[in-house]
A and B are shown apart, each in its own frame.
Chain A
Amino acid sequence: MGLEAAFADEPAFVPYLAAGDPNYEDSIAYVEALAAGGADAIELGLPFSEPIAEGTTIQNAIVRSLEAGMTPERFFEFVEDLDVDVPLVCMTYYNLIYQYGDEEGPRPFVEKAAEVGLGGFVVPDLPAEEAGPLRDACDEFGLDLVFIVAPTTTPERLERMREQVSGYVYVQARLGVTGARDDVDDATEESLARIADWDVPKAVGFGIKTGDHAERIVAAGADGVIVGSALVDIVAEGTENGDPTDEVADRLEALARELKEGALRGAQERPQPERT
């Protein structure tokens, strides 16, 4: 299933969790809870030991997952074991994609990803300039390649990304690394305006943690919201306190529902196109 489908009918809620955080079994339950709460697509983090684009929250999730034994091979099993009916996106760093399999380059990883049913990739340390081989492999196996647009991205670089992006474009709401914040940055509207005529859905991420945030982001013109750290915080808290898996899953599902409903409210506030 192409990732664009997740945005077809209404604003999409796209949550992120690190696969295998804090362990394989609990993580399966947590991801499934997000789907039950209304996720339209899910970003699954495949942990890399040097996650330079992540803030402390997701960095710690990655450490927990790696310590519990997550590997690329286990990640693919994880995807196969999930019982969810929405597109799944692999979010990871390029070295893991590049190293997989005997053959040099990203092709074996993409082939395996297609085999287990993943819909595409977000690779934070792979700019458009270096993405050619991965883009080619994605084309060969029918997967999407999502790029991140930052507030600092220049017009020249936007054009380079526009040529290669598919599925959706990830609009980074503010500068910095991932992490929940208490407010929504004004830079978001400006970023959305810069890519308004792109023919892929625009999903905004970085710093969104409440239904109100989601509402404002969608009202500002986003086609969807991406939420990671606020959800990972729930996993971390449950892990630290030794809470039962079901309770943590319930909390995740509740926040997912709040975020999805916020996004839906935001859509109603958008100026309606004039009927002719």
Chain B
Amino acid sequence: MSTDDAHDPKFGEYGGQYVPEALMPAIEELADAYERYVLDNEDGFMDEFRSRLADFGGRPTPLQYADQLSERYDTDVYLKREDLLHGGAHKLNNALGQVLLAKYMGKERIIAETGAGQHGTATAMAAAHLDMPCEIYMGETDIARQRPNVFRMRINGSEVVPVTVGRGTLKEAISETMREWATTVENTHYVIGSVVGPHPFPKMVRDFQAVISEEAREQAVEKTGGLPTDVVACAGGGSNTMGAFAEFIPDEDVALHAVEAGGSSLQVDEEEGVAPNSATLSTGDEGVLHGARTKLLQDSDGQIMESHSVSAGLDYAGVGPELAHLVDEGRVRPVNVDDDLALEAFHRLSQDEGIIPALETAHAFGYLEKYHDDLGDTVVVNVSGRGDKDLETVIEETSKRDLDIAPDMSVLQRMGGGGL
């Protein structure tokens, strides 16, 4: 568990609580619950959380030596297999923690937002497991590109509420869920899906996800006799990133690489209010969005830009305030990988290691492909999630490109495509 001051809502200049007045009591109540149950283990909350993570979630996940990649890059590559967690992504750690916390707090209903659908799926599973009614807000663009996850949420008994404003992606879904929370705050808990939002969410979500680095650190020592030289994780909002980094932050010899979505370009079209990337840590400016001061993709007036990534899970104009702070401090290195390289890496990991990664995760492997010469001799890559949910997108995007590494897509095209 982190040792920073749980009462402090800030990370340097970042963080804070910028929310409508109606929500202030709810986040104060949540901050109190976070301190009592998560930090002080009141009523055995953390014991129950760990026990459910083990039995329902399937923890610990392995730290696997990757034979082919190690040979290809001439360095020892270890994979932290969060894709093997129940539901297929690291998201369950946080969702299970927050739904359980809501139960301890006496809340009667769960709401959440989702981009790629992984957080929504994890929340729906946790809500079903803990017998809580649940509604998931999702942008209509994301509903269209993440159909398998939409069905998984419905199958688990959650309602999926389409968000039609704006471009219909995660940014709009978060705004809409905050509105819904402001209306129902007295009996409802909002399970934020990443290390974003007002205090205590960034700290609390990080603490629920820190189990990733806690295990990875122990497993690395056990398998290699020491700490890794580098930890690599993809960064959208930043929950798997903070989870993978948290326990390594005091280990200053371990380099931490946050891989963002470079999209199709790092150039922005200010006139149109569009950033064709989601590289917030690399290119964003300080501002206030969704309850926190952090780095944002915004125009010179302060209007939030539409972001882009081939991966719905990275497609967000903000980023966790702690990550923004760690980048400013020089502790975390922000890097980015474009859509093409991420797709190549998707196919490479699938073919070389037999692991179909989420498109989010594929960005971390794209970085490994391009920059492995800059890395040390023991690299841990966080495999944040599995790629089943992305297959329709991968088929579509691969078909548009001339990728040497891609399989022959003609069979699918003869079948009419998209018929998964």
Contact = CB atoms under 8 A, between A and B. Distances in A.
A196 interface: no
Interface stretch (B24-32, B47-55, B130-138, B248-256): B24-32
Contact of A152 (B26, B166, B273): B26
Interface stretch (A45-53, A216-224, A247-255): A45-53
B165 A95 contact: no
Contacts of A151: 22
Given A50-B289, A63-B165, A125-B288, A95 B22 contact: no
A155 B335 CA distance: 46
B182 A53 contact: yes
A157 interface: yes
Contacts of A149: 21
Interface string B20-44: 1110111010000000000000000
B24 A153 contact: yes
A95 B286 CA distance: 9
A176 B289 contact: no
Interface string B236-278: 0000000000000000000000000000000000000100000
A78 interface: no
Interface in B181-212: 182-186
Size class of B's contact patch? 35 or more
Contact of B17 (A63, A71, A127, A152): A127
A24 interface: no
A51 B18 CA distance: 12
B311 interface: no
B355 interface: no
Q: Which of A52, A55, A95 has the largest count of B CB atoms less than 10 A from its CB?
A: A52
A148 B304 contact: no
Contact of A52 (B20, B273, B301): B20
Interface in A31-71: 48-55, 59, 63, 66, 71
Interface string B44-72: 00000000000000000000000000000
A96 interface: yes
Given A95-B302, A99-B302, A157 B183 contact: no
B19 interface: yes
B121 interface: no
A157 B252 CA distance: 40
B290 interface: yes
A72 B301 CA distance: 7
Interface in B153-201: 165-166, 171, 175, 178-179, 182-186
Interface of B: 16-22, 24-26, 28, 165-166, 171, 175, 178-179, 182-186, 273, 285, 287-291, 296, 298, 300-304
Given A124-B20, A127-B24, A152-B24, 10 more contacts: A48-B303, A49-B273, A63-B166, A72-B301, A94-B18, A95-B302, A125-B19, A126-B18, A152-B21, A175-B22
